Amino acid sequence: MELKEQIDKEKIPVHVAVIMDGNGRWARRQGKPRVEGHRHGVRAVREVTEAAAELGVRYLTLFAFSTENWQRPREEVNALMGLLVNTLNSEVETLMKNGIALHAIGDLESLPPEVHANLMKTVRETASNQRMTLILALSYSARCEITRAARLLAQDVKAGKIQPDEIDEKRFASYLQTRDIPDPDILIRTSGEYRISNFLLWQIAYTELYFTQKLWPDIRKEDLYEAILDYQHRERRFGRISEQVNPDNHR
């Protein structure tokens, strides 16, 4: 049976998050400049987005650029920004056709004005699409996001809008950029690195982690199917015991 058919349609993860890694190594292995790895990475973005939408995933978050990535050589940063603008322009039609809304998190004000304008335009144009939300994490750092949330919350406390003892997890999360998005069910990282790299630190408290050796530009639909099948075979206990979350398995 094909991988896709083995997937239980009743247990599709609502939110899939991905750390796309290994573009540089993919290029080096081919004797090409790093930028070529990013260019080929766009095909993987397309495949995973399409596969996720087809399966009924509601939220797909892709870590496209971290706050730390600004420190890369200028030509690589420029190439990545250019690639982003080109991809947004060339894919907006596909997003519309497939009912995908684009959303972005991160320090978006730090993006070059052209990238920022293009991004916001695509976000606006796709805002009413309902099938899936594609969230791009751009100039994103989880610690920045959490710090910013703390700052905003402190301002509201200072202004008398909230009392300190009214602050609970739910209230705190409402100050994060992901406030309207459920926590990821599965986080995938490619390229054989076993790190979180400052991605969605608050949100992944109970997320299932999945690592693959494959480099991002080699990722295809089947790789998402494999990750989801692996996820479906896990038991999520959220701190409880097996008998509590799956009484049927213990009768």
- The answer to whether residue 111 forms part of the interface with ligand FPP (CB under 6 A) is no
Catalytic residue (one of 21, 183, 185, 223): 21
- The answer to whether residue 87 forms part of the interface with ligand FPP (CB under 6 A) is yes
Q: Which of 72, 68, 59 is nearest to 100 (CA)?
A: 59
Considering the complex, state which of residue 70 and residue 206 has its C-beta at the smaller distance from ligand FPP. Answer: 70
The answer to whether residue 21 is catalytic is yes
The residue within the footprint of ligand FPP, chosen from 84, 100, 135, 137 (CB under 6 A), is: 84
Catalytic residue (one of 8, 23, 69, 78): 69
- Helices marked H in 56-165: 74-97, 113-126, 142-158
The answer to whether residue 168 is catalytic is no
Touching ligand FPP, residues 1-40 (CB under 6 A): 20-25, 38
Give the shortest CB-117-to-ligand FPP separation in angstroms.
Answer: 16
Give the shortest CB-69-to-ligand FPP separation in angstroms.
Answer: 5
The residue within the footprint of ligand FPP, chosen from 3, 12, 14, 42 (CB under 6 A), is: 42
Rounded Cα distance between 190 and 70, Å, is 21
Phi, psi of 88 (to 5 degrees): -60, -45
What is the total residue count of the chain?
251
b/e per residue 5-32 (b: at least 16 CB within 10 A): eebeeeebbebbbbbbbbbbbbbeeeee
- The answer to whether residue 106 forms part of the interface with ligand FPP (CB under 6 A) is no
Q: Which of 120, 80, 56 is nearest to 216 (CA)?
A: 80
Rounded Cα distance between 149 and 130, Å, is 27
- The answer to whether residue 183 forms part of the interface with ligand FPP (CB under 6 A) is no
Interface positions with ligand FPP (CB under 6 A): 20-25, 38, 41-42, 45, 62, 64, 69, 80, 83-84, 87, 136, 216
Positions marked active-site:
21, 69
